[in-house]
Amino acid sequence: MTENIKLSNDNTVAVNMDLHWIPVAEHKPPLGVKLLLIDEHLGVIVVGDYQSRFGYTHWQALPKFKRKAK
């Protein structure tokens, strides 16, 4: 495992310590695109487009693959 990835205390979640959720209240997510979305209180993550009616509190962009050396 890389240095910035840690397991939760109960070893059920791998967490990237360098990446944080973006609060919807501070930075509105882009509309009509695929994102990681979460309601902080429910703790359920979905991949989808942001719609305010669902009550998501935070969002994050999807990760990308590293380019392979040629």
DSSP 69: P
Q: Which residues pair with 7 in a beta bridge?
A: 14
Write out the DSSP string of 24-43. TTTSPPPTTS-EEEEETTTT
- Residue spans of the domains in the chain: they are 20-70
Kindly report the pTM of this predicted structure. Answer: 0.83
pLDDT at 1: 63
Per-residue pLDDT of the chain (70 residues; tens, 9 = 90+): 688 999 999 999 999 999 999 999 999 999 999 999 999 999 889 999 999 999 999 999 999 998 888 7
